[in-house]
Amino acid sequence: MQDPRVSGLAVNARDGYATLTWKPVPGAAEYQIERTPLDDTGAASGPAAISGVWRPNRQIRQQSPSFADAGFVPGRRYQWRVRAVVATAPQEFSAPVTALTRGPFQSAGFETGFEKREGADYTSYDEEIDWTRRIAEASPRVRIVPLGTTPQGRTMNLFVIGHPRPIATAAEIANGPAAGANCNVHGNEPSGREGCFMMIRELALSNDPWVIDILTHATIVIVPSFNADGRANNTRGNSTGQDLNRDHGRITQPESQMFAAFLRDYTPEVMVDGHEFGNTNTCDLPLLWPRHSNTAPAVHNISKLGFVEGHFYDAGATDGWWGCPYPPPGIDGAQTFTRVTGLKNMVTTLVEARSSGGPTRPLENGSQPESRRRKAYSQLWSVRQALVYHRAERPAIAKAIADGIAFQKSNTGRIVFHGDWDTAAFPAPHPGDSPPPGGAPGPDQILDPPPCGYFLTDALYNAKLKDSGTLPERLWTSAGERLALHGVIVEKRTGGYFVPMAQPLRGLINILLDAKTPPAPIAAAERVFDCGK
Ligand SMILES: [Zn+2]
């Protein structure tokens, strides 16, 4: 019988985490990763504990185990050992490995509040604003663009980053390569925001060749705080109670409107959208690409097969992060970030850091700072992957976007009110997690042939809409204003406005303007089927 003791254990210290790799043991049901804190002399300074459980079915390369151990305080020294569990019996531990761990790129005076307090709590709004101002002063690569103000008076800032300095105008940036991140739409899911601060600092201040290469080839656009009121109040929604990730289509709220204008003006090609997910049995990083049925095939396919399954799953298997498909919400029509950005011909994914340690990271359970550090560093890793992927695959990404726009402008084939491209469990199976539900549209959600456009009367186009939460009346907006914020092409006609389907945002139009759209359109416009020739 082969020796069931793990061999070949190696450790590689990375940005806030450490990748452990070892040779697989035949018949192992799982592996247990043990971590021990060490002092400067290399002696144990605390108890050994199982910090990770790795299962062979968790990654796409199941014969090459790799585990991203995280949650520890980076900058300190640790020892690791790994043992196989055969049937239910733990085997002997491997020989130990040790490493001095490290955090992400750091620059004196630019630690975030989160880092100063080692994850005891998150960076506050006041700390963010001060840090933002100082980063912009310190780095000629950074331009801060205030996108607007929340209902409670907080600023939503856009970081525009380029080398040696950012391109001057949104119009010029829109004409070239751009990628980035939307980091914190749900106020009580803060780890993506912390990961974005760390990524911004590295892009702004590091002279590493990777940073210079990224910034030489694209403009990076990052919105760390989409929902500053929700973050300050630690609520999922904004101050009016609206879930902003159910508002990217209707854009009832100021935050959603500012962000829509940013997408319209800068047209980033690739973005990640940071979240946290409360299912303790899911993987480290559930991911979800644009999947609304109206998404252009070229955009859906490159997002799924290229960005998520091709790049994220592969890089995760190398670095030790466990990615899997996020089971998408099915009840909110096309209002989420990934659905709407796909309909805007962008290549995107949602990234959910699993909220708690769960069975695979037992040391986190009962330690919030340990859990927060793992989440923040996994989000930093995710934002970095978006930039790496964009840099590596930009020609294919640009072609998919051009093909997607051409598809939408042709107004060919059915349109769907509510329905999704299917998402299979991959890599399967996921222990304790159910595969994503199918999302194919029912016959009542399909319109085929599609209309050639929609008509809004002047009254419908101009009426201020009271359609969400407790937003004060001074902040109400009209259907016409919202169409403009999205960048929808509109033609003035006698008595009203005509919105042609043959345009780049075709997949979004029936979602905004058709009475059949669940839960509701912004205006119930008239379908037009005869547009002449
Ligand atoms: Zn979320």
CA of 61 to the centre of ligand 1 (A): 28
What's the token pair of residue 231?
């973050």
Taking CA atoms, 185 is separated from 272, 361, 384, 521, in Å, by 12, 26, 19, 22
Q: Find residue 13's DSSP bridge partners.
A: 18
Give ∠ CA 446-506-526 in degrees, rounded to 5.
Answer: 65
CA of 307 to the centre of ligand 1 (A): 20
Q: How far apart are CA 254 and CA 252, in angstroms?
A: 7
CA of 245 to the centre of ligand 1 (A): 7
CA of 62 to the centre of ligand 1 (A): 29
CA of 454 to the centre of ligand 1 (A): 33
Q: What's the pLDDT score for residue 211?
A: 98
CA of 335 to the centre of ligand 1 (A): 13
CA of 189 to the centre of ligand 1 (A): 6
CA of 244 to the centre of ligand 1 (A): 9
CA of 384 to the centre of ligand 1 (A): 19
Nearest to 119 by CA among 198, 182, 45, 183: 198
CA of 69 to the centre of ligand 1 (A): 24
CA of 300 to the centre of ligand 1 (A): 21
CA of 447 to the centre of ligand 1 (A): 31
pLDDT in tens, 266-322: 999 999 999 999 888 888 999 999 999 999 999 999 999 999 999 999 999 999 999
CA of 277 to the centre of ligand 1 (A): 7
CA of 389 to the centre of ligand 1 (A): 23
CA of 184 to the centre of ligand 1 (A): 8
- Collapsing DSSP states into helix, strand and coil, what is residue 288? strand
Write down how long the chain is.
533
CA of 39 to the centre of ligand 1 (A): 38
Q: What's the pLDDT score for residue 422?
A: 80
CA of 352 to the centre of ligand 1 (A): 7
CA of 452 to the centre of ligand 1 (A): 35
Task: Indicate the burial class of 466 (C-beta count within 10 angstroms; 0-12, 13-18, 19 or more).
Answer: exposed
Q: How far apart are CA 136 and CA 115, in angstroms?
A: 19
CA of 83 to the centre of ligand 1 (A): 35
CA of 138 to the centre of ligand 1 (A): 32
Nearest to 380 by CA among 268, 263, 274, 223: 274
Q: How far apart are CA 69 and CA 502, in angstroms?
A: 50
Nearest to 308 by CA among 455, 426, 172: 426
CA of 485 to the centre of ligand 1 (A): 23
- What parts of the chain have a pLDDT lower than 50? 331, 431-432
Q: What's the pLDDT score for residue 456?
A: 98
- Collapsing DSSP states into helix, strand and coil, what is residue 448? coil
Nearest to 351 by CA among 319, 315, 308: 308
pLDDT in tens, 464-474: 998 766 899 99
CA of 186 to the centre of ligand 1 (A): 5
Q: What is this structure's pTM?
A: 0.97
Q: What's the pLDDT score for residue 205?
A: 98
CA of 494 to the centre of ligand 1 (A): 43
CA of 378 to the centre of ligand 1 (A): 15
Q: Long-range contact list for 259-265, CB < 8 A, 24+ apart? A: 259/147, 259/156, 259/182, 259/223, 259/226, 260/482, 260/485, 260/486, 261/147, 261/485, 262/147, 262/158, 262/221, 262/223, 263/341, 263/344, 263/346, 263/487, 264/485, 264/486, 264/487, 265/170, 265/171, 265/174
CA of 342 to the centre of ligand 1 (A): 18
CA of 160 to the centre of ligand 1 (A): 24
CA of 194 to the centre of ligand 1 (A): 15
CA of 100 to the centre of ligand 1 (A): 33
CA of 185 to the centre of ligand 1 (A): 7
CA of 279 to the centre of ligand 1 (A): 12
CA of 103 to the centre of ligand 1 (A): 25
CA of 207 to the centre of ligand 1 (A): 33
Q: What's the pLDDT score for residue 333?
A: 61
CA of 238 to the centre of ligand 1 (A): 12
CA of 243 to the centre of ligand 1 (A): 9
CA of 106 to the centre of ligand 1 (A): 28
Q: What's the pLDDT score for residue 330?
A: 55
Cis peptide before 268 (omega within 30 of 0): no
CA of 182 to the centre of ligand 1 (A): 11
